[in-house]
């Protein structure tokens, strides 16, 4: 170590020198603890090396005895030295070893300490220190990543499931309405023309009512499977809801009718569920894109209209035409006016005579409802009664008509001195719901009309809907001495076996068979067998729509009662009094 001693004027008076055996085994200067490739230097402000480590013994004289050569100094950035504070910088030597240099000037001692360390060593040291930490972090993140992937996979599966559930029907696994709406754009882009078949099971409500909803569900699953089996891969079958299905097909228009028939035939195959054999049948409404509509919702509503028509006509399937829309509008108008009608005033009843075939004496009257709307005028019962049934308004109107019919009939009895039966029509919508018998008995009590002189006319639709309930209600009627007539017989689906279990007192041959029995052999045969059926079950048989030329047949076959315009039109109380008087010559008792 050299320490210059200065005079007052700044010149050096002498230099104190001392030596340290830096290489001695006991020396604290031994850089034993320095990591590999580290070097440390101490340089004084006069540019003498004071300490260099590592340094071999042989080279010590070169380093320590002379100041740093001027040439070297010129290359160095002298701001390293003599500047207070710590400086850090990079150094790349000839071997391109990349080092970090730290220089620190100690002004009190006039010394700069310089430490150089290769980055590689630093990094390694850093790594040594951090490796467990890094390993920990990596493990943590690895674990988190695996967890994330697992959850993500589960979430995706869940999302897929949710989407599937939202776009499919859980019962039949068919695509649903949501799916249809989602796919339509794609479908429209792919196909210039296609047909929508709107399909509805006939009498499915009856299956639910008779065997319960779980049973109905099983039938729906079978139907769905059949449909799926039937369609081509590029066609769609969708469960619209309830017992309604939609098939979208691009088959040529000319083949759609045959396709509808094919579908109906496949669905009509008997189904055996829980040992019960069912004969499903379906009605189909068809609409074409883009001829009938260019929006899926409109298209489906038109197919639905065609379906309604197919059901009404019992034609199996029906193609949409603009006429249907006109009809639907009319139906809507009817509903609106029906709802706001002043019922007591607008609804009246006419009575049509029923005569004994053998003597042509009056034995009864059928009450027929009439509606005179202040806006629409007289509306045909065949037009408004189905609407009143669908809206359940028939229940209220039906009882009103019952009351009016009872009162008018009793009035005619009183005025003519003749007693005859009264028949009143009753829809399935009235008979099967509400407490029909209770309401009826109240009317009888109120009017004083004897139940034994009353017949209720029902149609086969009553039994198709809920046979057990219908039987129960009809039996109760019979217990009160009220007659039960099966109206429009022969037009529905009644089986003989069903007929035998019903508490009937009368069969009415539908007028569609009567019209031409004198010309049509087949209709004559039908009328004849209905009459013999009635005789077999000891029932009254009424020939509806009877004409004068039928009388011979009716007498010959043993039909008991006739009813027809030719023998008496539906008429009001006064006209009926006149009618009876004119036929019997009896005196009318005036009011
Ligand atoms: P329905 O019970 O079969 O009634 C007989 C229908 O045949 C009546 O038609 C009657 O006017 C008509 N008719 C009778 N004889 C002849 C004939 O010789 N020739 C022709 N062309 N027709 C004849 P209406 O009054 O138009 O009633 C139609 C249907 O409306 C009835 O058929 C019945 O199902 C229903 N209906 C009528 N009144 C009521 C009612 O008060 N309640 C319920 N629920 N339905 C009713
Ligand atoms: Mg009738
Ligand atoms: Mg009838």
pLDDT tens for 111-170 read 888 888 888 888 888 888 888 998 999 999 999 999 999 999 999 999 999 988 889 999
Predicted local confidence at residue 118, as pLDDT: 85
Look at ligand 1, atom 42, and give the residue with the nearest C-alpha.
Answer: 425
Average pLDDT over every residue of 200-223: 92
Look at ligand 1, atom 33, and give the residue with the nearest C-alpha.
Answer: 425
Write phi, then psi, for 380 (nearest 5 degrees). Answer: -65, 130
* Count of alpha carbons within 13 angstroms of residue 199, beta-carbon side: 26
Residues of the chain with pLDDT > 70, as a percent, come to 93
For residue 417, what are the contacts with CB-CB under 8 A and spacing of at least 6? 586, 589
Among the bound ligands, name the one nearest to the CA of residue 570.
1
Alpha-carbon span 281 to 227, nearest angstrom = 13
CA of 368 to the centre of ligand 1 (A): 6
Among the bound ligands, name the one nearest to the CA of residue 423.
2
pLDDT tens column, 17-37: 887 776 666 666 665 666 777
Average pLDDT over every residue of 93-115: 82
| Ligand 1 cavity residues, CB under 6 Å | 352, 367-369, 381-382, 385, 394, 398, 401, 425-427, 457, 487-488, 511, 544-545, 563-565, 570
Count CB-CB contacts under 10 A for residue 531: 22
Alpha-carbon span 281 to 279, nearest angstrom = 7
Which of 367, 368, 392 for a ligand 1 pocket mutation test, highest count of atoms within 8 Å of Cβ? 368
pLDDT tens column, 397-428: 999 999 999 999 999 999 999 999 999 999 99
Closest Cα partner for 248 from 174, 328, 321? 174
Q: Are 482 and 452 in contact (CB under 8 A)?
A: yes
For residue 353, what are the contacts with CB-CB under 8 A and spacing of at least 6? 362, 364, 365, 563, 567, 568, 576, 579
Look at ligand 1, atom 27, and give the residue with the nearest C-alpha.
Answer: 381
> If pLDDT is split at 50, 70 and 90, which confidence band does 193 have?
very high
Average pLDDT over every residue of 385-399: 94
| Radius of gyration of the chain from its Cα atoms, rounded to whole angstroms | 53
Predicted local confidence at residue 590, as pLDDT: 46
Kindly report the pTM of this predicted structure.
0.63
Strand partners, 319: 286
Look at ligand 1, atom 25, and give the residue with the nearest C-alpha.
Answer: 368
Looking only at the bridges linking them, the beta strands covering 12-17 and 282-289 are unpaired
Alpha-carbon span 465 to 208, nearest angstrom = 9
Cα 145 to Cα 136, 151, 159: the distances in Å are 14, 10, 20
Average pLDDT over every residue of 330-345: 94
Is the pLDDT at 274 greater than 70, yes or no?
yes
User: Strand order in 317-319's β-sheet?
Assistant: 236-241, 244-249, 194-201, 282-289, 317-319
Among the bound ligands, name the one nearest to the CA of residue 546.
1
Look at ligand 1, atom 41, and give the residue with the nearest C-alpha.
Answer: 369
State whether residue 562 is helix, strand or coil.
strand
Look at ligand 1, atom 21, and give the residue with the nearest C-alpha.
Answer: 545
Average pLDDT over every residue of 258-285: 94
CA of 544 to the centre of ligand 3 (A): 6
Write phi, then psi, for 17 (nearest 5 degrees). Answer: -125, 135
In this structure, of 11-15, 50-54, 224-228, 349-353, the range with the lowest mean pLDDT score is 50-54
CA of 503 to the centre of ligand 3 (A): 19
Alpha helices for 168-193 (secondary structure H): 177-190
Please provide the distance, in angstroms rounded to a whole number, between the alpha carbons at the two ends of the chain: 154
pLDDT tens column, 511-551: 988 888 888 898 899 899 999 999 999 999 999 999 999 99
Alpha-carbon span 206 to 467, nearest angstrom = 8
């Amino acid at each position: 170590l050299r320490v210059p001693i200065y005079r007052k004027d700044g010149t050096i008076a002498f230099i104190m020198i001392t030596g340290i055996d830096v290489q001695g085994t006991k020396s604290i200067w031994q850089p034993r603890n320095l990591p590999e490739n580290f070097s440390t230097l101490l340089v004084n402000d006069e540019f003498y090396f004071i300490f260099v480590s590592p340094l071999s013994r042989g080279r010590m004289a070169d380093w320590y005895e002379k100041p740093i050569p001027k040439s070297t100094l010129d290359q160095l950035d002298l701001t390293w030295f003599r500047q207070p504070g710590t400086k850090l910088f990079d150094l790349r030597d000839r071997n391109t070893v990349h080092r970090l240099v730290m220089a620190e000037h100690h002004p009190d001692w006039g010394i700069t300490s310089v430490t150089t360390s290769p980055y590689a060593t630093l990094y390694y040291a850093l790594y040594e220190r951090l490796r467990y930490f890094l390993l920990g972090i990596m493990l943590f993140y690895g674990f988190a990543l695996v967890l994330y992937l697992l959850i993500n996979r589960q979430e995706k599966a869940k999302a897929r499931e949710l989407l599937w559930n939202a776009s499919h029907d859980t019962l039949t696994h068919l695509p649903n309405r949501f799916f249809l709406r989602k796919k339509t754009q794609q479908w429209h882009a792919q196909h210039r023309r296609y047909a929508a078949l709107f399909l509805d099971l006939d009498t499915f409500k009856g299956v639910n009512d008779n065997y319960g909803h779980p049973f109905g569900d099983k039938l729906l699953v079978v139907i769905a499977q059949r449909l799926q089996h039937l369609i081509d891969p590029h066609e769609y079958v969708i469960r619209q809801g309830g017992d309604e299905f939609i098939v979208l097909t691009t088959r040529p228009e000319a083949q759609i009718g045959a396709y509808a028939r094919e579908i109906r035939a496949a669905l009509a195959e008997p189904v055996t569920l829980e040992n019960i054999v069912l004969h499903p049948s379906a009605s189909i409404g068809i609409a074409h894109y883009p001829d009938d509509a260019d929006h899926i919702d409109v298209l489906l509503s038109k197919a639905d209209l065609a379906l309604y028509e197919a059901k009404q006509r019992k034609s199996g399937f029906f193609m949409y035409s603009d006429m249907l829309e006109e009809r639907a509008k009319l139906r809507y108008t009817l509903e609106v006016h029906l709802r706001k009608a002043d019922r007591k005033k607008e609804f009246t009843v006419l009575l049509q005579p029923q005569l004994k075939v053998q003597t042509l004496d009056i034995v009864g009257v059928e009450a027929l409802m009439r509606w005179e709307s202040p806006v629409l005028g007289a509306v045909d019962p065949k037009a408004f009664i189905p609407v009143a049934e669908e809206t359940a308004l028939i229940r209220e109107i039906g009882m009103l008509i019952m009351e009016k019919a009872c009162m008018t009939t009793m009035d005619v009895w009183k005025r003519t001195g003749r007693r005859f039966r009264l028949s009143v029509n009753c829809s399935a919508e009235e008979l099967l719901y509400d407490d029909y018998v209770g309401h009826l008995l109240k009317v009888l009590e109120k009017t004083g009309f004897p139940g034994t002189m009353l017949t209720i006319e029902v149609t086969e639709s009553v039994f198709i809907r809920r046979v057990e309930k219908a039987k129960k209600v009809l039996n109760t009627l019979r217990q009160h001495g009220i007659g039960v007539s099966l109206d429009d017989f022969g037009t529905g689906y009644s089986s003989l076996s069903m007929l035998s279990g019903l508490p009937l007192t009368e069969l009415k041959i539908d007028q569609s068979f009567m019209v031409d029995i004198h010309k049509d052999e087949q209709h004559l045969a039908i009328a004849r067998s209905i009459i013999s059926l009635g005789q077999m079950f000891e029932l009254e048989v009424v020939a509806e729509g009877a004409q004068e030329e039928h009388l011979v047949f009716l007498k010959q076959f043993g039909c008991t009662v006739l009813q027809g315009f030719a023998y008496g039109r539906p008429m009001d109380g006064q006209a009926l009094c006149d009618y009876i008087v004119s036929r019997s010559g009896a005196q009318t008792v005036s009011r």
